[in-house]
Amino acid sequence: MDRQPLFLEALGSLLRQPPLSALTRATTGSDLTAQMVEAARPDLVVCDLNAEPLDGRAILRAMLELRPPVPVIILGELVEMVLAVGLMLEGAAGLFIKECAQAELVTGVVAVLDGHRAVSAELLEAAIAGPHRRGAVPGSPAENLSPTELEVLAQLGQARSVAAIARARTVSEKTVRNHIAAIYRKLSLRNRTEAVLLAARWGLIPNS
């Protein structure tokens, strides 16, 4: 299930091809899942992390409550999936980013159907390495960032755009970009994904 019909069709087409040759059913509304599962008793559910009205975590819990439980693979963007990697501990059978190679996803589905767990390689690398890959200082953020920079980092961690941060702080977008550049330089970060990882590790992102 996914909110985007075109993505759903592409995913279904991939799963229907060899070596899986799967029978698939798709829905853009996760509230239909219970009825579909009851009627079809699928071997696997593939779900968007941000499915609506029930998100991926809620779908996972519902599928695990069935007897026998139905394994769930959750898909999403890299940053949000890094923050949701704990879903593996909650019982997810697989976590994959939507940009992963088709062959990688197919291999993961096969592994899950064989009773194993699978994680997208890029997601695993990002979750393990994070911003410390290039020697970022792991100490207190207050030692390296100004209060303003620390606040901007927290807002980056909450997936806010430059424009949204600028509006919240009543400053120009150029000023926000300057703060972001300073954060990246001081903490040896390369991109927003690493900034989000660090914000999460420092507890700057509220728990969902």
In the three-class reduction of DSSP (H, G, I as helix; E, B as strand; rest coil), residue 45 is classed as strand
Give residue-wise pLDDT tens across range 45-69.
999 988 888 888 999 998 998 888 9
- What domains lie within the chain, and their CATH numbers? 5-128 (3.40.50.2300), 135-201 (1.10.10.10)
Q: Poorest-confidence range of 59-73, 140-154, 159-173, 175-189? A: 140-154
Q: Which residues neighbour 17 within 8 Å (Cβ) at sequence distance 6 or greater?
A: none
- Taking a C-beta distance cutoff of 8 angstroms, is the pair 122, 78 a contact? yes
Give residue-wise pLDDT tens across range 144-161.
788 788 889 888 888 888
- Mean pLDDT value of segment 64-82: 87
- Mean pLDDT value of segment 12-20: 88
User: Looking at per-residue confidence, does 32 or 71 come out higher?
Assistant: 71
- Taking a C-beta distance cutoff of 8 angstroms, is the pair 28, 34 a contact? no
Question: pTM (2 decimals)?
Answer: 0.65
Report whether pLDDT(195) > 80: yes
